[in-house]
Amino acid sequence: MCGINGLVILNKSISFNPRKIIKEMNFSLKHRGPDNDGFWSQENVFLGHRRLSILDLSNKSNQPMKIDNLVLTFNGEIYNYIELRKILEREGFRFKTSGDTEVLINAFKFFGKNVCKFLNGMFSFAIYDMKKKQLFLARDPSGQKPLFFYKNHKSFIFSSELKSIVNSKIENFRLNQRAVYQYLAYGHTISPDSMVAGIKKLEPGTCLNLDLDSSTYKIKRYFNYKFHKKSNKPFSYYNSKFNKTFTNSIKRHFRSDVPSAVYLSSGIDSTSILCELASQSSNTQINTITAKFEESDYDESVYAKQISNLFGTNHIEFNIGQADIFSSIFNILDNIDEPMSDIGLVAIHQVAKCAKGRYKVVFSGDGGDELFFGYEPFIKYPFTSILDKFPKFLVNKFLSLLSLGKDDFGYLGLKYKTRLFFNSHKIEHFKKNQCWGGGHFK
């Protein structure tokens, strides 16, 4: 995780010091990149970078990186950088580093603004072309790496974090009321809105091109998910295709020049990653870490230990108690840019804190349930048509009876889940899942 910042002056009549602002923005992102603090500026363009060294640990890969007329500040990782490098070398490019940063800037030089179509990775980056006087910003298709930006008639500013822009004080920023409504309804804000009026998120799978001469920018979508509803191909075809994709993904993700580990929760996601890693790294012991919670409803460490023993990993357990969780809440609030109603943030923060100092890179299995229908809402949907046939007064009566007696505050306990399910009575179909997650649409 690195941090990127940038400030472009569009009007000379400014009342602030851009060099001071970019340095303060960099300082505010120190937690994202403790390994190097980099700056670059020319005339009215100022770029900053905080580096967390993962690939090519030498100073040659520090950023912002300048090659000829291009300057890059980049957060993330290009997983297919080795394959891209080979393509570029065949085209006559030569490299001085072994990392992905130099590959990215040269790929932009070769492919131009279509470069994102050739990237496999998680990224947000900005490239300034000194000849064309244009600033190009891009964000990965899934939006794993954040990128916020703001423009007025005097300047254009961007950063990995919302508060970095707010703290620049180039504008009297105010709360975005529409984003507040989004959070109350869905548990999060919806791109391109942010919690601060005027500051936007660059949406996943899009790129932005700012022309300094005209002081205007255009946003273009370079990626869209495509869903094929009908197919005559057998299940074996998709099973084989998934296995190949999964194997290649694990192989690319584990390209690293620093110690790494796997978050092992004992679920199918992380266990599948470990299983594939073990088959690819038969001569190397894999590191795994697991959180051990005091509350039995949350603790899966026993099963994680069994899986660790099965694969012979170097396994570490971290004990996490209630005191640890409560003491971390305010620290989490200080570090997230926007509120989100996901209690899993607390657990992830604790495990990440425990991994710090041992591993710079830790792999997790997020996303498997969404892709393969593992969550309960996928099971609930067929039953909602039955629930909606009951009259409102009967549902309310049942909910009042459910509230009697001791509540169930365990990990998604039965009474809690039942109450959420009945709260979705006769609301629009596409809103039901948000209701089951705790949102209210009455």
Which amino acid, residue 28? S
Mean pLDDT of 195-211: 97
The DSSP line for 103-138 is HHHHHHHHHGGGGGGG--EEEEEEEEETTTTEEEEE
- pLDDT tens-digit profile of 402-421? 777 666 655 566 777 787 78
pLDDT over threshold 70, residue 378 = yes
C-beta of residue 143 within 8 angstroms of C-beta of residue 204 = yes
| pLDDT at residue 368, as a whole number | 76
Mean pLDDT of 185-208: 93
Of 146, 59, 48, nearest to 102 (Cα)? 59
Mean pLDDT of 55-74: 92
pLDDT over threshold 70, residue 12 = yes
Give dist(CA 375, CA 159) in Å, integer: 34
For the ranges 188-192, 333-337, 339-343, the maximum mean pLDDT occurs at: 188-192
| pLDDT at residue 22, as a whole number | 94
| pLDDT at residue 437, as a whole number | 64
pLDDT over threshold 60, residue 439 = no
- The separation between the first and the last C-alpha atoms of the chain, rounded to the nearest angstrom, is 40
**Residues in contact with 73: Cβ distance below 8 Å, sequence separation at least 6, in sequence order:** 4, 5, 6, 38, 40, 47, 48, 49, 63, 64, 125, 126
Q: What is residue 60's DSSP assignment?
A: G
Of 20, 95, 98, 33, nearest to 64 (Cα)? 33
| pLDDT at residue 168, as a whole number | 92
Of 165, 151, 125, 137, nearest to 21 (Cα)? 165
| pLDDT at residue 411, as a whole number | 57
3-state secondary structure of 433: helix
Residue 419's alpha-carbon distances to 388, 414, 415, in angstroms, are: 15, 9, 6
Which bin fits 357, alpha (ψ -120 to 50), beta or left (φ > 0)? left
- E-strand ranges in 53-100 read 65-67, 70-78
Mean pLDDT of 92-97: 95
Spell out the domains of the chain, with CATH numbers in brackets: 3-221 (3.60.20.10), 258-371 (3.40.50.620), 377-436 (no CATH)
pLDDT over threshold 80, residue 106 = yes
CB atoms within 10 A of CB 237: 11
3-state secondary structure of 314: strand
Mean pLDDT of 218-237: 87
Q: What is the pTM of this model?
A: 0.88
Range in 67-81, 187-201, 269-283 the model is least confident about = 269-283
pLDDT interval class at 348 (50, 70, 90): confident
- Looking at per-residue pLDDT, the higher value among 419 and 5 belongs to 5
Cis peptide upstream of residue 64 (ω within 30 degrees of 0): yes
- Looking at per-residue pLDDT, the higher value among 344 and 88 belongs to 88
Of 47, 51, 24, nearest to 37 (Cα)? 51
* CA dihedral of residues 379, 383, 388, 392 (deg, nearest 10): -90
3-state secondary structure of 331: helix
Of 154, 170, 152, nearest to 13 (Cα)? 154
- Looking at per-residue pLDDT, the higher value among 365 and 233 belongs to 233
Length reported for the chain:
442
- Looking at per-residue pLDDT, the higher value among 284 and 20 belongs to 20
